[in-house]
C-alpha cells in the first residue's frame, strides 16, 4: 500500500481547478433555490422513512395518518419527495389540504418524485448535504418512520444537532417500538452504560411512539411551551 501511495503524483491526484470551482457554484445554486422556496413556507414537520415501503403496509398507512393529522393542526409536511414512506407523508398532507414539500435527490435507483407534492414545492438536489440542510432548517419537528441506511443517517444527524444545540430544541420522534426498540436498548446498554459515549439525558431527547395521536399530542404540547421559529 505504501508503495502504491508513493507512486501517485500530486498532479494526477489533484482535481482540475476549473471543475472544482464550477462545483462550488452548483452547490451554491442548490442552497439559493432551497432557501428561496422554503423561507416563507411556515412551520413544518419533516418525515423520514424507507423508499421501499409499499402502500397498504402498516408503516405506510401510519405515515399517511400522522402526516394528515399534523397537517390538520396547521403544519406543512416535508418529505424526501420519493416513493414509500416519503410518498405516504406527502399523501397525508395532500389529503388534509396542507402544504406538501418534496426534497428529491438524484439517485441511480429508487428515487422518483411522487404525485402528492405541491407543484411549487418540488425541489431537486444532487447533494445529500444540501438536502439535509433543507430538511433541518425549515422543520419544527422530526418524525422518523422505519427505514434503511439513509433514514439512520438522517436520524443520527438530527439527534446530534439537537444534542449539541446547533439548533433549537425540537421534537424528535421515532415511530414503531418494534422497529426502533432494539436500537435504543443497544444505545442504553452499550453506548450509555457500558462505554459512556453519551450522557443519560441524551436518550430523553427522542420519543418512541406507535400511534399518530401520540405524535400529534406530543408536538402540540411541546409548542404550548416553546416558540415556533426556524432552527438556525
* Regions in the chain scoring below 50 on pLDDT: none
| Tens-place pLDDT, residues 102-123 | 999 877 665 678 999 999 999 9
- The kind and range of the H/E element at 45 are strand 44-48
Three-state SS at 124: strand
Helices (H) and strands (E) in the chain, counts: 9, 7
Q: Would you say domain 27-220 falls under CATH 3.40.50.2300?
A: no
Q: Where are the domains of the chain?
A: 27-220
Specify which residues 144 forms β-bridges with: 48, 174
Beta-sheet strands, E only, within 117-163: 122-125, 142-144
pLDDT at 228: 83
Phi first, then psi, for residue 140 (nearest 5°) are -105, 15
Q: Which residues contact 142 (CB under 8 A, 6 or more apart)?
A: 45, 46, 47, 48, 158, 170, 171, 172, 173
Residue 166 and residue 164: Cα distance in Å, rounded?
5
pLDDT at 107: 72
* Cell output for 154: 438522517
Contacts of 218 (CB under 8 A, 6+ apart): 171, 173, 207, 209
Output the pLDDT for position 100.
98
Question: What pLDDT score was predicted for residue 12?
Answer: 60
Instruction: Enumerate residues 6+ apart whose C-beta is below 8 A from 5.
Output: none
Which pLDDT score, from 0 to 100, does residue 132 have? 95
pLDDT of residue 3: 72
Amino acid at each position: 500500500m505504501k508503495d502504491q501511495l508513493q507512486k501517485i503524483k500530486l498532479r494526477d491526484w489533484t482535481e482540475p481547478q476549473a471543475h472544482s470551482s464550477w462545483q462550488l457554484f452548483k452547490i451554491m445554486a442548490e442552497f439559493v433555490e432551497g432557501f428561496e422556496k422554503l423561507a416563507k413556507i411556515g412551520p413544518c414537520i419533516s418525515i423520514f422513512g424507507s423508499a421501499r415501503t409499499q402502500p397498504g403496509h402498516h408503516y405506510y398507512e401510519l405515515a399517511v395518518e400522522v402526516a394528515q393529522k399534523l397537517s390538520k393542526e396547521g403544519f406543512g409536511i416535508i418529505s424526501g419527495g420519493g416513493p414509500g414512506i416519503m410518498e405516504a407523508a406527502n399523501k397525508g398532507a395532500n389529503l388534509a389540504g396542507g402544504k406538501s414539500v418534496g426534497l428529491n435527490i438524484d439517485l441511480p435507483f429508487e428515487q422518483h418524485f411522487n404525485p402528492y407534492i405541491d407543484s411549487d414545492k418540488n425541489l431537486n438536489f444532487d447533494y445529500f448535504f444540501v438536502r439535509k440542510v433543507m430538511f433541518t432548517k425549515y422543520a419544527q419537528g422530526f418524525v422518523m418512520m422505519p427505514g434503511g441506511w439513509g433514514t439512520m443517517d438522517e436520524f443520527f444527524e438530527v439527534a446530534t444537532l439537537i444534542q449539541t444545540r446547533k439548533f433549537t430544541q425540537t421534537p424528535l420522534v421515532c415511530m414503531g417500538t418494534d422497529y426502533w426498540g432494539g436500537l435504543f436498548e443497544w444505545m442504553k446498554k452499550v453506548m450509555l452504560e457500558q462505554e459512556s459515549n453519551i450522557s443519560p439525558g441524551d436518550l430523553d431527547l427522542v420519543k418512541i411512539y406507535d400511534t399518530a395521536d401520540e405524535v400529534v399530542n406530543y408536538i402540540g404540547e411541546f409548542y404550548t411551551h416553546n416558540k415556533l421559529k426556524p432552527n438556525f
